């Protein structure tokens, strides 16, 4: 995947329909509580403005019913905040696709920004409807996808709109370009040793990732509750730990396939209850007594994992090593996060909890890439094709 970016398109006096991910958290008063997703879209938007183009921004927010306007999901507060971040007024269309949005798009002057109302107010968005898509496609001359968190979906704005704009430039924005660079290109052609660290609650959520990475990695370090299923499958005892008993056969298959590549914890931190200030004991993995549950990898495992990470040239991490939300069960996750931050490897942090852990520890700047998409980053690590990205223009290679 070597996709053309918005930087390669002459956007002067052109209208650029940009699919962004402005699915930000809002409180009951409609105030944005975290505007990181807006900040991350700024480079693409500013690049278009600076070169004399007019961005027409479209996004979803939350899960409205798809039957028209719902105040709590309106993008109007976002137009205001985005205007503050850009230092210029952001025009707003209270209609998603139709006469009002077309008139506002037609009247847009070079350098002006227009934001459309929530795409999901129209049921055509989730349905991937062609008629809805063609109305959006008519608004602009160029299509740009900068919504990585939605790239694994086939909603109208992701697939039917660029399809309807065939023959016009269809490119990725800077955010999507960076995600593809790390989650796809780096992983397909990694500097070795290539080490993956996978944790979290369930093996079943990450089967695709384990299978795909087993073919590419030199080691996969397993932590979190996910490790319990592997340990049980090997005949160990896991007490009252969170475990997927019905996935033992699958775990055995992955162990047989992975052989020494698949590294399991040697010790765990266990307790009788998942509570603050509970008494904690270290036990060898697979020897957890009745009434105890594994809530984190142990210090020996964390040390072993850190040593493997220290010699890696490429590292991918998805999922915490334990219940990192509740100290002291955050230690395994913290040790692994610090080992990644201290390593010289190209380090890629999958979205969700691992990204949150890296952020909480103040280590975001010490890693190469923190993905902005939870589901999308998992899907890309599984090596699944992304229709929304595949149909976009490729960089032309001259012979």
294 binds ligand AMP per the rule CB under 6 A? yes
Residue from 90, 323, 339, 392 binding ligand AMP (CB under 6 A)? 323
The question of whether 350 is a catalytic residue gets the answer no
200 binds ligand AMP per the rule CB under 6 A? yes
Residue from 267, 353, 376, 386 binding ligand AMP (CB under 6 A)? 353
Residue nearest ligand AMP, CB atom distance: 200
357 binds ligand AMP per the rule CB under 6 A? no
The question of whether 202 is a catalytic residue gets the answer yes
Contact between 91 and 104 (Cβ < 8 Å): yes
Q: Which stretch binds ligand AMP (CB under 6 A): 13-21, 135-143, 196-204, 334-342?
A: 196-204
265 binds ligand AMP per the rule CB under 6 A? no
Catalytic residue among 4, 37, 120, 135: 37
Residue from 35, 70, 130, 205 binding ligand AMP (CB under 6 A)? 205
DSSP 299-318: HHHHHHHHHHHHT-SEEEEE
Q: Which two tokens stand for residue 237?
A: 């005892």
Q: Which two tokens stand for residue 263?
A: 């590294």
In the complex, minimum distance from the CB of residue 97 to ligand AMP, in angstroms, rounded to a whole number: 35
Contact between 371 and 355 (Cβ < 8 Å): yes
The question of whether 37 is a catalytic residue gets the answer yes
288 binds ligand AMP per the rule CB under 6 A? no
Dist. CA 105–CA 107, nearest whole Å? 5
Residue appearing with tokens 């500013």: 46
φ/ψ of residue 225, rounded to 5: -65, -25
Residue appearing with tokens 């775990």: 251
Contact between 151 and 184 (Cβ < 8 Å): no
Q: Which two tokens stand for residue 129?
A: 């409807």
Q: Which is nearer to ligand AMP, 83 or 374 (CB)?
A: 374
Q: Which is nearer to ligand AMP, 55 or 322 (CB)?
A: 322
In sign, the C-alpha dihedral spanning 100, 106, 112, 118 is positive
Residue from 80, 126, 181, 202 binding ligand AMP (CB under 6 A)? 202
Q: In Å, how far are 254, 293, 373, 375 from 153, measured between CA atoms? A: 28, 37, 12, 10
Q: Count the neighbouring beta carbons within 10 Å of the beta carbon of residue 398.
A: 3
80 binds ligand AMP per the rule CB under 6 A? no
Element (H, E) at 137: helix 130-137
Strand-pair category, 267-271 with 293-297 = antiparallel
Q: Which of residues 242-261 bind ligand AMP (CB under 6 A)?
A: 242
The question of whether 375 is a catalytic residue gets the answer yes
295 binds ligand AMP per the rule CB under 6 A? yes
Q: Which is nearer to ligand AMP, 161 or 243 (CB)?
A: 243
In the complex, minimum distance from the CB of residue 352 to ligand AMP, in angstroms, rounded to a whole number: 6
Instruction: Please report, as ranges, the residues that interact with ligand AMP according to CB under 6 A.
Output: 200-202, 205, 224-225, 242, 294-295, 319-320, 322-323, 325, 352-353
Active site residues: 37, 202, 352, 375
């Amino acid at each position: 995947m070597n996709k053309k970016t918005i930087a390669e398109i002459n956007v002067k006096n052109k209208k650029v329909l940009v699919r962004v991910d402005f699915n930000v958290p809002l409180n009951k008063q409609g105030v944005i509580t975290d505007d990181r997703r807006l900040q991350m879209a700024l480079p693409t938007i500013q690049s278009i403005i600076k070169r004399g183009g007019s961005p027409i921004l479209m996004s979803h927010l939350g899960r409205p019913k798809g039957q028209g306007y719902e105040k709590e999901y309106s993008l109007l507060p976002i137009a205001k905040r985005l205007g503050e971040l850009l230092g210029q007024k952001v025009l707003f269309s209270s209609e998603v696709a139709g006469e009002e949005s077309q008139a506002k798009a037609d009247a847009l002057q070079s350098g002006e920004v227009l934001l459309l109302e929530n795409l999901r107010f129209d049921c055509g968005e989730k349905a991937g409807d062609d008629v809805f898509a063609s109305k959006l496609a008519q608004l602009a001359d160029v299509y740009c996808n900068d919504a990585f968190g939605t790239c694994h979906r086939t909603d109208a704005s992701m697939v039917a709109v660029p399809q309807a704009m065939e023959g016009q430039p269809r490119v990725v924005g800077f955010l999507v370009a960076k995600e593809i660079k790390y989650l796809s290109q780096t992983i397909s052609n990694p500097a070795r040793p290539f080490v993956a660290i996978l944790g979290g609650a369930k093996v079943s959520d990450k089967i695709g990732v384990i299978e795909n990475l087993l073919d590419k990695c030199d080691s996969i370090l397993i932590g979190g509750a996910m490790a319990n299923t592997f340990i049980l499958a090997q005949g160990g005892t896991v007490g009252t730990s969170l475990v997927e008993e019905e996935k033992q056969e699958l775990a055995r298959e992955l162990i047989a396939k992975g052989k020494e590549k698949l590294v399991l914890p040697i010790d765990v931190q266990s307790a009788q209850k998942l509570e603050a200030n509970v008494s904690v004991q270290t036990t060898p993995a697979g020897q957890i007594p009745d009434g105890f549950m594994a809530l984190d990898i142990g210090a020996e495992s964390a040390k072993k994992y850190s040593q493997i990470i220290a010699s890696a040239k490429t590292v991918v991490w998805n999922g915490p090593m334990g219940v990192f939300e509740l100290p002291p069960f955050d230690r395994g996750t913290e040790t692994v996060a610090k080992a990644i931050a201290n390593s010289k490897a190209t380090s890629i942090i999958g979205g969700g909890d691992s990204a949150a852990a890296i952020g909480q520890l103040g280590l975001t700047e010490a890693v190469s890439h923190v993905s902005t998409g939870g589901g999308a980053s998992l899907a890309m690590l599984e090596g699944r094709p992304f229709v929304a990205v595949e149909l976009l223009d490729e960089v032309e290679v001259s012979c």
